[in-house]
């Protein structure tokens, strides 16, 4: 089982869209059993899959010991893709009585997920170096870092790198790669940003880049992954490439032949 934390140290890096659509492609195209965990109190991943975050329990009661993981997992419209939604209780869960008295509370998520039965678990974290992000990193064996080719996003990578390095001394977590979103192949400052990222995370920049595409917003509004509403789009192509690169990075079999059956399996809605 691969547990991947998707992280950034700045909002607006398409972190949630990456978590959702990477998971959906792994599930639908590559037939992997995938669990998405919305670990951000803003609940964008939850709403992006068409669920009301106020109507369901999040990971909070599981970490507090009052519910089992299976009790909070939701099935999505995409076969093999499941979700643990988020809610506002997540924001300060570490100061609740059950966790505040446990000096090792940030290791609870790792224990919970160790008993899960999935090929991939993908955790969408807040854009900050908080208790939730630390817990996700400790529970993971891989970290996918999201960034955009702009100054504040790239500068935040240095602090995120230190954060991951400190955690990895106690709990092994490997940087799977740095993914650039909102990519413009003709951007004048592209190489300068790539050079800065290379200094912080040597040889970790992914070949795949996520380009701007209105279908991403359209899919979010409909509460569906891109793979469920689009047969051909730049974003779908990019997320397919990302999935293959992630599978290679995780040394997992690709099953690329299954991709040929995508057109006949998906329910199409013209965007």
CA angle 69, 75, 76 (to 5 degrees): 135
**What is the pTM assigned to this prediction?**
0.89
Longest Cα separation, the chain:
53
pLDDT recorded at residue 199: 86
What does the pLDDT look like over 21-73, one tens digit per residue?
999 999 999 999 999 999 999 999 999 999 999 899 999 999 999 999 999 99
Instruction: Name, in order, each residue with C-beta under 8 angstroms of 269's C-beta and a sequence gap of 6 or more.
Output: 222, 229
φ, ψ (nearest 5 deg) of residue 84: -105, 110
Domain ranges, ordered by start, for the chain:
2-265
Q: β-strands 120-124, 81-84: how paired?
A: unpaired
Torsion angles phi and psi, residue 261, rounded to 5 = -90, 0
Q: How far apart are CA 267 and CA 120, in angstroms?
A: 24
Q: What is the pLDDT of residue 269?
A: 36
Cβ neighbours of 91 (radius 10 Å): 17
Ordered per-residue pLDDT tens for the chain, 271 residues: 999 999 987 777 889 999 999 999 999 999 999 999 999 999 999 999 999 998 999 999 999 999 999 999 999 999 999 999 999 888 888 888 788 888 888 899 999 999 899 999 999 999 888 899 999 999 999 999 998 877 776 777 888 888 998 898 889 889 999 999 888 777 777 888 888 888 888 999 999 999 988 898 899 889 999 999 988 899 999 999 999 999 998 875 444 444 444 444 443 333 3
What is the pLDDT at residue 252? 57
- As a whole number of angstroms, the distance between CA 84 and CA 75 comes to 9
What's the rounded Cα separation, in Å, for the pair 121 and 146?
17
CATH 3.40.50.300 fits 2-265, yes or no: yes
* Beta strands per DSSP E along the chain: 2-7, 34-38, 74-75, 81-84, 120-124, 142-147, 174-183, 205-211
């Amino acid at each position: 089982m691969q547990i991947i934390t998707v992280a950034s140290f700045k909002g607006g890096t398409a972190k949630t869209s990456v978590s959702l659509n990477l998971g959906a492609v792994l599930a639908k195209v590559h037939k992997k059993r995938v669990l998405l965990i919305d670990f951000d109190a803003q609940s964008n991943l939850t709403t992006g899959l068409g669920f009301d975050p106020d109507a369901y329990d999040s990971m909070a009661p599981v970490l507090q010991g009052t519910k089992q993981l299976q009790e909070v997992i939701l099935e999505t419209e995409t076969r093999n893709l499941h979700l643990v939604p988020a809610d506002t209780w997540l924001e300060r869960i570490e100061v609740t009585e059950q966790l505040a008295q446990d000096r090792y509370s940030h290791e609870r998520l790792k224990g919970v997920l160790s008993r899960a039965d999935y090929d991939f678990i993908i955790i969408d974290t807040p854009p900050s170096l908080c208790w939730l992000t630390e817990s996700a990193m400790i529970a993971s064996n891989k970290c996918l870092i999201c960034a955009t080719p702009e100054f504040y996003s790239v500068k935040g990578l240095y602090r995120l790198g230190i954060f991951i390095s400190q955690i990895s001394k106690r709990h092994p977590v490997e940087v799977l790669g740095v993914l650039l979103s909102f990519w413009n192949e003709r951007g004048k400052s592209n190489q300068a940003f790539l050079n800065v990222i290379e200094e912080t995370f040597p040889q970790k920049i992914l070949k795949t880049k996520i380009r701007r595409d209105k279908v991403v917003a359209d899919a979010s509004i409909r509460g569906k992954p891109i793979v469920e509403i689009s047969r051909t789009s730049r974003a779908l192509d990019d997320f397919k490439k990302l999935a293959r690169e992630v599978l290679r990075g995780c040394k997992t079999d690709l099953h690329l032949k299954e991709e040929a059956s995508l057109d006949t399996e998906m329910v199409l809605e013209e965007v």
